[in-house]
Amino acid sequence: MSGKKHNFVVIGLGMFGRTIATQLVSFGNHVLGIDSNEARVNDVIDELSEAVIADVRDEESLREAGVDQYDVAVIAIGDDLESNVLCTMNVKLLGVETIWAKAMNPTHHRILDRLGAARVIHPEEEIGQHVAQMLHNPLVRDYLSLGDGNYLVDLSIPDDFEGKRLKKLKLADHEDIQVVGIMRGTEYLAGQDDDTVLETDDKLLLLGQRDPLRDFSDSL
């Protein structure tokens, strides 16, 4: 699914920032990458729309790089808390509408929140939780937090349910869980009912709160 193209500036071109920047470019967006480290900038200069060396702690340096012309800024600095905070503050002062910033701990998160970051990211923590959930239950292929405690879960069908009807999963016993659809290969099946016959490699898309979803997946 394609979305509206935006102009992004990614500040901090370590592994985390570089990955975000190059992926955004692959989606067809214009991306400016900024880092105070010349080697990091040189490493990505051929992969991004633009890449410049600038003092990320200095408002005027960021202005000269053209940061104020961008829709969204990603502050991906992960090894220097002071630089991260000063950069976030300066980007906000330059009038960038939407700021996503990487946090290193809860105190840092609160600071970024008060500075006006639209989204504060804890990549190591979030990935750790993600991996732990999938290790805990291999049927959970992936999941997405939708906010307000709701999750969309991509759940594999156990082999012993092949050829059986959906009602055999006893989802009716879990009132807090909604079946959004079934992925059958690359085909999305919507509007399925209890009599839908399950096939090998079907994937259930379920919507609900974390605990009911976990209880259901653990029961399979």
Amino acid occupying residue 12: G
pLDDT computed for residue 5 by the predictor:
52
| Domain boundary assignment for the chain | 7-121, 126-219
Superfamily of domain 7-121: NAD(P)-binding Rossmann-like Domain (3.40.50.720)
Indicate the pTM of the whole model: 0.68
Q: Which residue has the higher pLDDT, 187 or 21?
A: 21
Residue range 32-88, pLDDT digits in tens: 999 999 999 999 999 999 999 999 999 999 999 999 999 899 999 987 899 999 999
Fold assignment, 126-219? Alpha-Beta Plaits (3.30.70)
pLDDT computed for residue 101 by the predictor:
94
Q: Which residue has the higher pLDDT, 192 or 16?
A: 16
User: How would residue 13 be classed by pLDDT, with cut points 50, 70 and 90?
Assistant: very high
Buried residues in 183-200 as b, exposed as e (16+ CB within 10 A): eeeeeeeeebeeeeebee
pLDDT computed for residue 1 by the predictor:
38
Instruction: Round to whole Å and give the CA distance between 38 and 87.
Output: 18
**Contact predicate 120/101, CB 8 Å:** yes
**Contact predicate 77/84, CB 8 Å:** yes
**Contact predicate 3/68, CB 8 Å:** no
